[in-house]
Amino acid sequence: MVLKMQAAVVEQFRKPLVLQERDIPTPAAGQIVVKTEACGVCHTDLHASKGDWPLKPTLPFIPGHEGIGLVVAVGAGVSRVKAGDRVGVPWLFSACGHCEYCLKAWETVCGQAQFGGYTVNGGFAEYILADPAYVAHIPAGLSALQAAPIICAGVTTYKGIKETSVKPGEWIAISGAGGLGHLAVQYAKVMGLNVCAIDVDDGKLEHARQLGADLLINAKASDPTVVLKKEIGGGAHGVLVTAPSLSAFAQGVSMTRKLGTCVLVGLPPGEFPIPLFDVVANCITIRGSFVGTRQDMNEALAFAATGKVKADIELQPLSAINQVFERLEHGQVASRVVIDFADS
């Protein structure tokens, strides 16, 4: 008898997710099955459900790439995890392990990578099929609910900050203080950086201040580049753009100090113009950053396990997923919603 599970499924782009009964997956050789305890809701899941990006998921699919749970079934030949382990099933679901990028420990850009909740089914379901070589091992002492946002929002911002090469005592500007941004502020403070938080919502900015941001700018009320340069002179040594808004990208580049680096992680569909003369003459680096490697993941989780970085979470049942998406779309989620499967 095949047992059933609840899952939230995208059947059509731009349509509400459908709650369905699906077969509980069984692990083939080399695979594991995780019983979901918690799964964060990332803005990427919203982009996925709308088919926002050039590489679209194949319909129907189950989103979710911040799924945490306990291993309940282990396929033949699996030795890296065992039943009962608490693991996270992240965006980087798997990679080939032997291409030039994997060999350089840049598995995030492997051409054969699979993405959880995108190219393969993800964590908006009571059980998740996973590749044991790419799951995150959740440190003891970190709850499933607290770990969930760390395995995407946390690792992405932790890695993105490292990619700015900003040093302790220098300034980083973090554009977007939502799910990613509220964790970025905390990682940046732990790393000894001065933080300017930019958002279009005063509530998000007030939260960023409570988390240690030194300077706050509302991009709706004033021009962030003008304010930043007036307050700290010359711009920020590093900029991390998490906002899912194209205007934030042009602002991010113009806020970057000479010789500084602007790291792009937000993924609104579209393009933005780059002021070539300023970028060239000021020797500014603009670079993309995509989640993080397994080593970045371990480091990001270790900060959370010590309590130095703590996700601010709002719990919801799986059945509320469409209302959560609606609020996320309109900037009405304070930080991160986590689906609590104990309540679903």
Task: Note the residues at the interface with ligand NAD (CB under 6 A).
Answer: 42-44, 47, 152-153, 156, 175-181, 198-201, 204, 219, 242-245, 247-248, 265-268, 289-291, 328, 331, 333
Question: CA 157 to CA 145: how far, in whole Å?
Answer: 19
Nearest residue to 162 via CA among 259, 258, 292: 292
Closest CA to 241 of 227, 225, 230: 225
Q: Which does 102 bind (CB under 5 to 8 A by kind): ligand NAD, Zn ion, none?
A: Zn ion
Q: Which entry of Zn ion, ligand NAD, none binds 99, CB below 5 to 8 A by partner kind?
A: Zn ion
Query: Using CB under 5 A as the criterion, what x/- string covers residues 235-274 for binding Zn ion?
Result: ----------------------------------------
Q: Is 133 in the site for Zn ion (CB under 5 A)?
A: no
249 contacts 273 by C-beta, under 8 angstroms: no
Please state, in angstroms and rounded to a whole number, the distance separating the CA atoms of residues 274 and 277: 9
Given the complex with ligand NAD, which of 73 and 246 has the nearer CB atom?
246
Q: Which listed range, 22-30, 91-99, 126-134, 326-334, lies at the site for Zn ion (CB under 5 A)?
A: 91-99
- Which contiguous run of DSSP H or E holds residue 127? strand 127-130
- In this structure, which amino acid lies at residue 37? E
- How many whole angstroms separate alpha carbon 236 and alpha carbon 258? 9
Query: Of 20-28, 92-100, 166-174, 313-321, which part binds Zn ion (CB under 5 A)?
Result: 92-100
Shortest Å distance, C-beta 34 to ligand NAD: 20
Closest CB to ligand NAD among residues 24, 196: 196
CA 40 to chain centre: 9
The minimum distance between CB 223 and ligand NAD, in angstroms, equals 11
Residue of 96, 274, 279, 334 that binds Zn ion (CB under 5 A): 96
Task: Determine if 302 is a binding residue for Zn ion (CB under 5 A).
Answer: no
Q: Which lies closer to ligand NAD via its Cβ, residue 143 or residue 332?
A: 332
Q: From the CB of 280, what's the least distance to ligand NAD, in Å?
A: 25
* Pair 249, 279: CB distance under 8 Å: no
State how far the Cα of 249 lies from the Cα of 230, in Å rounded to an integer: 20
Is residue 95 at the binding interface for Zn ion, with CB under 5 A as the rule? yes
Q: Does 89 bind Zn ion (CB under 5 A)?
A: no
Closest separation in Å from C-beta 225 to ligand NAD: 12
Query: Residues 6 or more apart from 117 whose CB is under 8 A from it?
Result: 45, 48, 61, 62, 63, 64, 65, 67, 91, 123, 124
Per CB under 5 A, which of residues 15..74 are in contact with Zn ion? 42, 44
Q: What own/partner pairs with CB < 8 Å and gap ≥ 24 does 200-204 have?
A: 200/245, 200/331, 201/177, 201/331, 203/334, 204/177, 204/178, 204/331, 204/334
**From 102, 188, 301, 328, residue interacting with Zn ion (rule: CB under 5 A):** 102
The H or E element containing residue 323 is: helix 321-329
d(CA 121, CA 23): 12
Q: Does 193 sit near Zn ion (CB under 5 A)?
A: no
Q: Does 150 bind Zn ion (CB under 5 A)?
A: no
Structure token pair of residue 21:
């009964």
Residue with Cβ nearer ligand NAD (20 or 218): 218
CA 315 – CA 38 distance, rounded (Å): 9
Q: Which residues would be at the binding site for Zn ion (CB under 5 A)? A: 42, 44, 95-96, 99, 102, 110, 152
